[in-house]
Amino acid sequence: MATWKLGGVTLASGGKVSGKGKYAVLLDDPLRAGSATVYVASPPDGSVTVDPESDWLLDLYAREFAHSFGLTVSTDYVAKDEDIPPDVTELLAELDSEPRDPAVVY
């Protein structure tokens, strides 16, 4: 089981949030509602819904959350390629196969 600590809150595998205060609520509510998203590629097409059972996605979620509030994250999780969910791999392959506009900075 992996854990992420940020802003006095602990996020654990399975999407379990412990702690009190605004960061706990802001981190937990979207996970419970199924509306938490993370970017795995450039916006607007590169976002996916966070599956609380995926430590890989929870890691991105914790890091994006911490960044948005100027917090630091400490974790025991070490990302591995085999942790990347299949839907993320498919999305990245799909986005990579789309033609790029040379006038746009990606």
40: closest CA among 22, 9, 63, 20?
63
pTM attached to this predicted model: 0.86
Alpha-carbon distance of 54 to 85, in angstroms, equals 7
- Average pLDDT of the residues of the chain: 91
How far, in Å, CA of 89 to CA of 61, rounded?
17
No. of helices (H) and no. of strands (E), the chain: 3, 6
pLDDT at 54: 96
Compute the average pLDDT of residues 16-20: 96
For 40-89, the pLDDT digits (tens) are 887 777 889 999 999 999 999 999 999 999 999 999 999 999 999 999 99
Domain ranges of the chain: 3-97
Give the pLDDT of residue 104.
67
For residue 98, name the pLDDT band (cuts at 50, 70, 90). Answer: low
